[in-house]
């Protein structure tokens, strides 16, 4: 600075000399004096135009996130979801603000729901001026239900009070379900400027969407998680289901699982893993875990995924689990105590009921059987092995159901499983079931049943559904049918086989028993009460009764408890005695 002062002095002296020599006087420019506080030296500088300072938004205090997400979580109803039918009704009766968070290319290819506003998810926080007031109901939708969950979580944290995500496959489910759509892009949206979000908050969430929400939106498939658990020993799982769900359904078998129900997620922040830990969050179906993953991203977590399909899909795929099972004792005890006529209905009784008070008719045969021999009018076809995976087509728990099959065997298995899952009045068609019906001259309709209507009338616990789906999937080929001839051979070749006679004491005394080295009597009505008398699960077992119906109920109960080598005697004791196989006298213990 001293050197600069010296040079300016020389310039001023030269100016004076030139002026003395008769030159034109120099025109002076206005000057500004800048004080150098270090050298205390004044310097004259030519005044220049100064750009106005751009005011940066105040930095967002992330401590506020706790309160923002606590309010959201405390106010959740049904985890802020809305079904396809419910939205369809709302669009007529009380339309919400519709927010489409897909990308432009998706909308161009598949259309949109009329009246919706398109803001791709990553652009959401930068376009809040297009959204309605904080108290206006908003329904967010995307391709399958994933991005709209991220959107609703962030919007609720930023102050909107009633944001729901469209479930049931989101726009994909909406379009596939035949609901009204409009081809092409939404019209240009109107800028509403209806709310005032703190610029620092908007900027922060914009950064989260750009920097922390990963490509692919954090989707982790069951297959990918199974691989990661083997390859990455540092992986941490966070289970956000309730304690009751974990207890009844079980959990993913993994080295490190943290259990924090979504309702307590922020309150128990101290239990979260480190911010740089690899994390996969899971719940029952994938919705709650995506809410939790979004919360973690917002707190700066960098390696977080959410399990697609949740624990239900994990278990259905056959990956390892620990703990959990429906309360089979209570379910089957209730069923057995409430049985009337062992839950059967005759051909004549059904024919009369179809005129006077029609029940729900459930056909559990295979498609090829129905194609070849027709069906009873009004019935719904769900093959037995697929039954637990199609409960949405069944009526309410208190609606009378009559199940039928080819001969009466599979419909007995079906009624037993359905009763255990909560249906209260399920009967099996006896008298040869559909074969007896057709041969008896009762009315039939040729070909397959019409496509069934999706009722969604009964809500079965997800863990129970998964559990019984596995039971039905693993039923033995041939459905456990054992003929009298086959049993006679087995008793000779494998004397260790265990016979369980589920008839009453009076029947034993009147008709006798099948003799075997390992014979047990447990009347069907007492099957659960006498569970302590059941054989080991690895035993070879044949159950029998008078005709084959009660023994098939008992075999189904045993399969449900994990027994794998169980058969039921076709035709029961009656067929055995009629064919002349040896009968012994019952001796009271």
What pLDDT sits at residue 463? 75
Residues (pLDDT < 50) of the chain are 1-48
Measured between alpha carbons, how far is 311 from 314 in angstroms, rounded to an integer?
Answer: 5
Residue-wise over 24-49: b if at least 16 C-beta within 10 A, else e? eeeeeeeeeeeeeeeeeeeeeeeeee
Q: What domains are defined for the chain? A: 2-46 (no CATH), 65-211 (3.40.250.10), 216-322 (3.40.250.10), 328-475 (3.40.250.10), 478-584 (3.40.250.10)
Query: Nearest Cα to 381, choosing from 318, 438, 331, 448?
Result: 448
Tokens 């069951």 belong to which residue? 222
For residue 305, the surrounding DSSP H or E stretch is strand 304-307
Measured between alpha carbons, how far is 287 from 146 in angstroms, rounded to an integer?
Answer: 7
What pLDDT sits at residue 6? 30
Asked if 448 and 381 touch (Cβ cutoff 8 Å), the reply is yes
pLDDT digits (tens, 9 = 90+) for 11-41: 333 343 333 333 333 333 333 222 233 333 3
For helices 410-421 and 328-338, the axis angle rounded to 10 degrees is: 120
Measured between alpha carbons, how far is 491 from 499 in angstroms, rounded to an integer?
Answer: 9
Asked if 484 and 569 touch (Cβ cutoff 8 Å), the reply is yes
Measured between alpha carbons, how far is 347 from 352 in angstroms, rounded to an integer?
Answer: 9
Residue-wise over 319-358: b if at least 16 C-beta within 10 A, else e? bebeebebebeebbeebbeeeeebbbbebebbeebbeeee
User: Hey, is 92 helix, strand or coil?
Assistant: helix
Model pTM score = 0.53
Measured between alpha carbons, how far is 398 from 389 in angstroms, rounded to an integer?
Answer: 20
What pLDDT sits at residue 185? 97
Sheet containing strand 117-118, strands side by side = 81-82, 163-166, 138-141, 97-100, 117-118
What pLDDT sits at residue 11? 32
Spell out the residues 6+ positions from residue 11 whose beta carbon is closer than 8 angstroms to its own: none
């Amino acid at each position: 600075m001293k050197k600069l002062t010296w040079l300016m002095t020389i310039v001023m002296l030269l100016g004076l000399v030139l002026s003395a020599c008769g030159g034109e006087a120099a025109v002076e420019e206005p000057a500004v004096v800048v004080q150098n506080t270090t050298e205390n030296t004044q310097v004259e500088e030519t005044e220049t135009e100064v750009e106005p300072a751009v005011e940066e938004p105040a930095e967002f205090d992330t401590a506020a996130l706790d309160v923002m997400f606590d309010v959201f979580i405390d106010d959740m109803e049904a985890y802020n979801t809305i079904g396809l039918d419910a939205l369809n009704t709302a669009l007529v009766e009380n339309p919400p603000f519709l927010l489409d968070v897909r990308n432009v290319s998706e909308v161009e290819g598949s259309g949109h729901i009329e009246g919706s506003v398109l803001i791709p998810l990553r652009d959401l926080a930068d376009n809040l001026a297009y959204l309605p007031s904080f108290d206006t109901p908003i329904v967010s939708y995307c391709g399958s239900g994933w991005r709209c969950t991220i959107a609703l979580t962030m919007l609720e944290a930023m102050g909107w009070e009633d944001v729901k995500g469209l479930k049931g496959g989101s726009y994909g489910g909406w379009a596939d379900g035949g609901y009204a759509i409009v081809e092409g892009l939404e019209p240009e949206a109107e800028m509403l400027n209806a709310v005032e979000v703190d610029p620092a908050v908007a900027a922060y969430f914009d950064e989260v969407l750009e920097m922390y929400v990963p490509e692919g939106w954090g989707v982790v498939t069951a297959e990918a998680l199974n691989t990661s658990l083997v390859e990455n020993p540092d992986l941490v799982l966070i289970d956000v289901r309730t304690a009751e769900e974990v207890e009844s359904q079980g959990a993913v078998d993994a080295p490190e699982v943290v259990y924090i129900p979504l309702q307590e997620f922020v309150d128990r922040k101290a239990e979260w893993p480190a911010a740089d830990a690899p994390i996969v969050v899971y719940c029952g179906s994938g919705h709650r875990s995506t809410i939790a993953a979004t919360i973690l991203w917002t707190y700066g977590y960098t390696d977080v995924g959410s399990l697609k399909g949740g624990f239900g899909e994990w278990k259905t795929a056959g990956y390892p689990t620990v703990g959990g099972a429906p309360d089979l004792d209570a379910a089957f005890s209730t069923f057995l105590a409430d049985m009337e006529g062992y839950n059967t209905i005759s051909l004549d009784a059904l024919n009369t009921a179809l005129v006077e008070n029609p029940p729900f008719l459930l056909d559990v045969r295979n498609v090829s059987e129905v194609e070849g021999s027709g069906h009873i009018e009004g019935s719904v076809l769900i093959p037995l092995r697929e039954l637990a995976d199609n409960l949405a087509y069944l009526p309410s728990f208190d609606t009378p159901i009559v199940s039928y099959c080819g001969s009466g065997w599979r419909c007995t298995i079906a009624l037993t499983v359905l009763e255990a899952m909560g249906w209260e009045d399920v009967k099996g068609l006896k008298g040869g079931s559909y074969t007896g019906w057709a041969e008896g001259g009762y009315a039939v309709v040729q070909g397959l049943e019409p496509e069934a209507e999706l009722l969604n009338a009964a809500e079965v616990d997800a863990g129970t559904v998964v559990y019984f789906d596995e039971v039905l999937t693993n039923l033995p080929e041939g459905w456990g049918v054992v003929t009298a001839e086959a049993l006679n051979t087995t008793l000779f070749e494998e004397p260790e086989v265990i016979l369980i006679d589920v008839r009453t004491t009076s029947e034993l005394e009147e008709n006798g028993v099948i003799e075997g080295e390992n014979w047990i009597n447990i009347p069907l009505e007492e099957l659960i009460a006498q569970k302590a008398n059941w054989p080991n699960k690895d035993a070879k077992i044949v159950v029998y009764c008078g005709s084959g119906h009660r023994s098939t109920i008992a075999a189904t109960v045993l399969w449900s408890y994990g027994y794998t080598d169980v058969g039921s005697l076709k035709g029961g004791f009656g067929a055995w005695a009629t064919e002349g196989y040896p009968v012994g006298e019952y001796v009271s213990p």
